[in-house]
Structure 1
Amino acid sequence: MHLDTPATLLLVDDEPEILVALADLFEDEFRVLTAPSGPHGLEILAAEPDVHVIISDQRMPEMTGDAFLGRARQVSQAEALLLTGYADLEAVINALNHGRIAGYAPKPWEPAALLSMVRNAAERFRLGRSLETEQALLQGLLESSADPLSFKDAQGRFVRLNAAKAAALARPLEACLHHEEAAMLDRPAAAAALRRADAEAMARRRPVEVVEQRQEAGAPPRWVRISRIPILGRDGQPTHLATVEHDMTEQRALEERLHQAEKMQALGTMAGGIAHDFNNLLTAILGSLELLLHSGMAQPRQERLVKNAILAAERGSTLTQRLLSFSRKRDLQLRASDVNRLVTDVEDLLLRSLGDAITLHRQLADALWPAMVDPEQFGLALLNLCINSRDAMPEGGSITLRTRNVSVGEEEVGDLAGGDYVAIAVSDTGSGMPPEVMAQAFEPFFTTKEVGKGTGLGLSMVYGLTRQSGGTTVITSVPGEGTTVELFLPRALRPAEAQASQDGVPQPAAHPVTVLVVDDDPAVRRVTATFLADLGHRVVEVPDGEAALRSLRDNPGIGLMVSDLVMPRMSGVELTRNARSLRPALPILLLTGYADPARVPEGYPVLRKPFRRADLAHCVAELLQG
């Protein structure tokens, strides 16, 4: 009952005058109920369970006061007072034993003394009810909490604990009560640390929270947040200590994954910008070298030097592909692919790259499902993984490529959704990875190789490829026993597509047209225009979208537009939209150093920089034929 609500009194007496006098004494301060007999009083108690104090006469015809209070005790927790008009010691003792009376008063009573006695009884009832409520709440908390909870005295002995805490100590709950927790620990160092932590919390006289790492034999480490809450007595000194332990291993893992995702996103944004500028430079370099090569070299030595420079520029192009793959800024060409065929096709390249000290084994599953993947990027990922394995085996060893069909349940494999996948594992017999290296393996620019021998982008590129394809990458490794990197690619719902080879030698255009080339980078614009001119097309060059729109208005003979996607003031997307409003049937080819797939207008072909002359010739021919 709320403290502002008056306490309820039940007055029981067979004399009406006494009831009136008692009611008059108490009614200003209490809610008063009256009954002329014991049986009538029991009826009121059955209907009014929230009675605080019962005042009963002893000498009544139907039921004596001590008998009535004994019966009342069975249905009510109210405080009881006995009124007696004569010295009946036996009745008082009987009421004390059976009715558990809190006191008795003689008739006639002294009003102030009786009023004080009733006030004290009502306050005892309130305190008792509050204590019961607190005990029920505490018991409910202890029983319902999955977290280990306990209360200790100043000597560290348990006075209360729940089943979760007892289970953590591997003991029955009853065996823990009144025993010191530190004494139950097997390791003396842990026991001493626990005593210090408890004593520090008691000395501070305020809650203390710490996070501990716990390592049990044969189990991964767990992180536990422990709150120690001193309970102070009336004098402000700590008398007991409450402890709450919450296992936050899963929460910590989620926080680490979120931090990793945020870091990858930030680095991906940076990598995308770098790749855009780098690809523009490579387009100009590769294009100029290719034009120089096809202009006719006077000496074989000059031709070798130019070809060597082209190979170096193509390696730079591979580096930007890695950057874009881990940052998920590369627009993958996902196709239903035969993974076994892709592994077989790249085997010769792998053998040339690995050297004689490495033995390559294949264990390719029969009836392998088709998988959704970019074949070009998959080959690059496989090459990266095999080179990493080679570097982990400086004295030689073996690499095994395995494929399999696998159906994954929800939350069975890291961040992978449930479903059907094609798994490709690359296993080596190398030095393996310690846990701290595995934790950083997918981070871009992280490498354990010497300076100049690794970019730190190989594994992050592989991870980016699988995540962008709808799968994931999982590493298992034991120091001294080798490493396995397994790629999970989503199963394709249609048969694998045949991998058609393209002729790398560009043919002159069958029907030359006037091509509008739009690019804010002069070097890239010149290379693109020269490639097109060599194919027999007439070329109009402009540096931005505004100039392009003016050319389209002024020159109705333009039959094709080739535009960069990322430009200042007016992007390629905006230019495409405006150009189509002027010339709805105009064929348009977009060029990009990197492109977030979401930014590319649907239905428009995209050629990635750096491109070769044959790549440009093929795209232009397809557009003009279409």
Structure 2
Amino acid sequence: MDVFDTDQASKAAPASEDRYRLLVEAVTDYAIYMLDPQGRVMSWNRGAQRFKGYSDTEIIGQHFSRFYTDEDRASGLPARALRIAASEGRFEQEGWRVRKDGTLMWAHVVINPIRSDDGTLIGYAKIMRDLTERRAAQEALRQTEDRYRLLVEAVTDYAIYMLDPQGRVTSWNRGAQRFKGYSDTEIIGQHFSRFYTDEDRASGLPARALRIAASEGRFEQEGWRVRKDGTLMWAHVVIDPIRGDHGELVGFAKITRDITERRNAQLELEETRARFIQAQKMEAIGQLTGGVAHDFNNLLAVVLGNLSLARKRLPPDRKLKQLIENSIQAAERGATLTKRMLAFARRQELTTGPLDVPELVRGMADLLQRSIGPNIQVGTRFPLQLPLASADPNQLELALLNLAVNARDAMPQGGTITIAAQEERVGTSEIAGLAPGRYVQLSVTDTGEGMDERTLAQAVEPFFTTKGVGKGTGLGLSMVHGFAEQSGGRLLLRSTKGQGTTAELWLPVAEASGTRGGEPDPDVARSAAALRPMTVLVVDDDPLVLMNTSAMLEDLGHEVMEASSGEQALRILRRSGTIDLVITDQMMPGMTGLQLLEAIRSEHPRLPVILASGFSELPDSALTGLVRLSKPFEQAELMRALVMSLEPEGQVLPFRSKQG
């Protein structure tokens, strides 16, 4: 190298050192300074001055331990840091450091040894960065995370937990433990599919739920979930994906709520609403049925009355008489159907009295056997002593016949029907719809096909039938149901598919006084011959019924006056000279039969009145001492009502108008 090159190199070295010094001194985001082997400050850059607060003239020559807290100095940390740096080539740490003004900062410190070419330690390079703000942010984040963790862990009304991407449980809060029954030590690390039913697992629902959550951002469902003890709960489940800073899937957040009670309450509400709607429907059908039955009763009254009169006037023609008898039987079958309709509507006229149930069953044994056929055996089972039931014997016979026919239809291949009775005592709220007291439980049990739950629930609905087209009206059980409730009792059905059916008819025990049902009332046993010819006022808005009733009365030898309304009847009473008895329909527009009765009682209190109606929904106070004639009626029943309307002495006191 020539002289020129040597001189240039000697000048370049100091220039390079100046550049490094200027570079270090210009840095303000890092404190970069040099210590001698004993730890005294030898250089000081702007970053050090900015962080520590000392100028170079204040700090150069001072020991670097003054930047440490009293606790760190007492523990010998400054000397240990230099020793580690010298021996291991590096010392790195984060910790509290003290500024000139005594405040603290959180610093990241790196100390490296500085050695000469021959390896001699000539000092240390110390680089420090103030991380106070970052640490404060991290601490705030940590505190926030802790608060969220405490919040989640404290929640008991929701199961909130995390899953890893494969579906294994990674966290577990108190709500999860409360709902599922697992502690965190039992469940963390386990797959969440164990909460699903066998059917859901078999269908792949757990994996599908995670897949939907990951692809669509959310999965939500209600369904059955399994607790640790194996019991089921109805749960509302939401699964959300958890993603990292770069969108990668790191797990799932799962929130579950036990809504079993809410679901049960909702189902109960819906069931109550359905029952209410059904009750409204039944009431509407009952109103319709009652109205139809009323009109049908009027038509049947005309048909039966006219046929009865025609039968009395027939010439000696056997074939013609047979035609009339067939017509009467057909009309009577129509009357039976009407009674079923009124029984369903709870409007049929009942003649309730003490009734010996075993005696009634024995009395209709032949009828029952003929009705169900020879391939079905009928057996009875009654106790030696059974109290009398309070019921209408005719309606009870009809109810028993319906139950027996239903049992027969349930056994197309034959079987056994058992009719039994026993006394039962009912306490408060033991059986819905039954008041506490004593009852006669009359049951009809078959060995037939039985009913499933759905059929059993609909069995007493009107027009519901499982029989083929044309093989049933669907009114049989509804009639029995209506009759039982109107009698103060209840119809209960018990059935299992394939194991037969038992129909229980609960009837109140009769009071001790009174005659047995079916026995004639002594007052009714009077001979019709005792009746002298009377003047009878007949009131009915139906002209056919009016004409028919008048014809039957005239055939019995009585004089008849007719009125088509209550108002017209009162006008006739006020202007007529003599009227011995009034027969009035109940259901009339403008003025009902009871309203007419009240008007008659106020003006003519001793005038006998017969109320003709097929309805039983009449106030008891108005029926005291009142003779009633159930529609449809024949001449014999009309004669019986006339006899019952007589005074105890057997005399009919004529009514004289005030003008007469």
> When the two structures are superposed, what TM-score results if normalisation uses the length of structure 2?
0.66
Matching residue within 195, 201, 208 for 2:206: 195
CA contact (8 A) 1:573 1:600 kept: no
- Determine if the alignment matches structure 1 residue 422 to structure 2 residue 404: no
RMSD between superposed Cα atoms in Å: 4.5
- Determine if the alignment matches structure 1 residue 507 to structure 2 residue 528: yes
Q: Match of 1:619?
A: 641
1:159-182 CA distances to partner (integer Å, 9 max, x unpaired)?
Answer: 345678447xxx889745664453
- Determine if the alignment matches structure 1 residue 608 to structure 2 residue 630: yes
Matching residue within 259, 268, 273 for 1:245: 259
Kindly report which structure 2 residues correspond to 1:294-443, keeping only aligned pairs within 5 A, or say none.
Answer: 294-409=312-427, 412-413=430-431, 415-443=433-461
- Determine if the alignment matches structure 1 residue 587 to structure 2 residue 601: no
Q: Match of 2:538?
A: 517
Kindly report which structure 2 residues correspond to 1:41-56, keeping only aligned pairs within 5 A, or say none.
Answer: none
Matching residue within 520, 531, 537 for 2:558: 537
Q: Matches of 1:189 and 1:120 in 2, distance apart?
A: 43
The Cα of 1:606 is off from its aligned counterpart by 2.9
Q: Matches of 2:211 and 2:644 in 1, distance apart?
A: 78
Q: Match of 2:236?
A: 227
The Cα of 1:256 is off from its aligned counterpart by 4.3
1:596 partner SS: coil
CA contact (8 A) 1:477 1:483 kept: yes
The Cα of 1:622 is off from its aligned counterpart by 1.5
Q: Matches of 1:295 and 1:460 in 2, distance apart?
A: 40
Q: Which runs of 5+ in 1 are unaligned?
A: 1-85, 94-102, 143-148, 215-221
Instruction: Give the direction of change, closer, same or farther, for the CA distance of 1:254–1:551 in structure 2 (3 Å limit).
Output: same
Instruction: Give the direction of change, closer, same or farther, for the CA distance of 1:180–1:265 in structure 2 (3 Å limit).
Output: farther
Instruction: Give the direction of change, closer, same or farther, for the CA distance of 1:291–1:472 in structure 2 (3 Å limit).
Output: same
CA contact (8 A) 1:533 1:539 kept: yes
2:444 partner SS: strand
- 1:620 aligned partner, one-letter code: L
Kindly report which structure 2 residues correspond to 1:424-503, keeping only aligned pairs within 5 A, or say none.
Answer: 424-494=442-512, 497-502=515-520
- Identity percentage of aligned residues: 36
2:583 partner SS: strand
Q: Matches of 1:369 and 1:105 in 2, distance apart?
A: 105
Q: Which runs of 5+ in 2 are unaligned?
A: 1-67, 76-95, 105-131, 649-660
Instruction: Give the direction of change, closer, same or farther, for the CA distance of 1:452–1:620 in structure 2 (3 Å limit).
Output: same
Identify which range, 382-391 or 413-422, moves more after superposition: 413-422
Q: Matches of 1:580 and 1:433 in 2, distance apart?
A: 54
1:29-80 CA distances to partner (integer Å, 9 max, x unpaired)?
Answer: xxxxxxxxxxxxxxxxxxxxxxxxxxxxxxxxxxxxxxxxxxxxxxxxxxxx
CA contact (8 A) 1:370 1:495 kept: no
CA contact (8 A) 1:545 1:570 kept: yes
Q: Matches of 2:184 and 2:271 in 1, distance apart?
A: 31
- 1:624 aligned partner, one-letter code: L
- 1:390 aligned partner, one-letter code: R
1:241-293 CA distances to partner (integer Å, 9 max, x unpaired)?
Answer: 32333252655554443343233212111111111111111011011101111
CA contact (8 A) 1:504 1:614 kept: no
Q: Matches of 2:73 and 2:224 in 1, distance apart?
A: 63
Q: Matches of 1:564 and 1:583 in 2, distance apart?
A: 19
> When the two structures are superposed, what TM-score results if normalisation uses the length of structure 1?
0.70
Instruction: Give the direction of change, closer, same or farther, for the CA distance of 1:131–1:551 in structure 2 (3 Å limit).
Output: farther
1:329-357 CA distances to partner (integer Å, 9 max, x unpaired)?
Answer: 22433333222222222222212222222
The Cα of 1:320 is off from its aligned counterpart by 1.0
Instruction: Give the direction of change, closer, same or farther, for the CA distance of 1:125–1:474 in structure 2 (3 Å limit).
Output: same
The Cα of 1:582 is off from its aligned counterpart by 2.8
Q: Matches of 1:370 and 1:104 in 2, distance apart?
A: 104
Q: Match of 1:46?
A: none
Kindly report which structure 2 residues correspond to 1:67-86, keeping only aligned pairs within 5 A, or say none.
Answer: none
1:402 partner SS: strand
Instruction: Give the direction of change, closer, same or farther, for the CA distance of 1:462–1:156 in structure 2 (3 Å limit).
Output: farther
1:317 partner SS: helix
The Cα of 1:542 is off from its aligned counterpart by 1.0
CA contact (8 A) 1:432 1:482 kept: yes
- Determine if the alignment matches structure 1 residue 269 to structure 2 residue 287: yes
Aligned residues: 516
Instruction: Give the direction of change, closer, same or farther, for the CA distance of 1:232–1:600 in structure 2 (3 Å limit).
Output: farther
Q: Matches of 2:391 and 2:232 in 1, distance apart?
A: 38
Q: Matches of 1:280 and 1:213 in 2, distance apart?
A: 63
Instruction: Give the direction of change, closer, same or farther, for the CA distance of 1:193–1:399 in structure 2 (3 Å limit).
Output: farther
Q: Matches of 1:441 and 1:189 in 2, distance apart?
A: 36
1:486 partner SS: strand
Kindly report which structure 2 residues correspond to 1:140-289, keeping only aligned pairs within 5 A, or say none.
Answer: 141=157, 153=163, 159-160=172-173, 161=175, 165-166=179-180, 175=186, 179-185=190-196, 187-189=198-200, 191-192=202-203, 194-195=205-206, 226-229=235-238, 239-246=253-260, 248=264, 250-251=268-269, 253-289=271-307
1:550 partner SS: helix
The Cα of 1:484 is off from its aligned counterpart by 1.7
2:348 partner SS: coil
CA contact (8 A) 1:268 1:329 kept: no
Instruction: Give the direction of change, closer, same or farther, for the CA distance of 1:451–1:545 in structure 2 (3 Å limit).
Output: same
- Determine if the alignment matches structure 1 residue 88 to structure 2 residue 99: no
The Cα of 1:450 is off from its aligned counterpart by 2.2
1:447 partner SS: coil
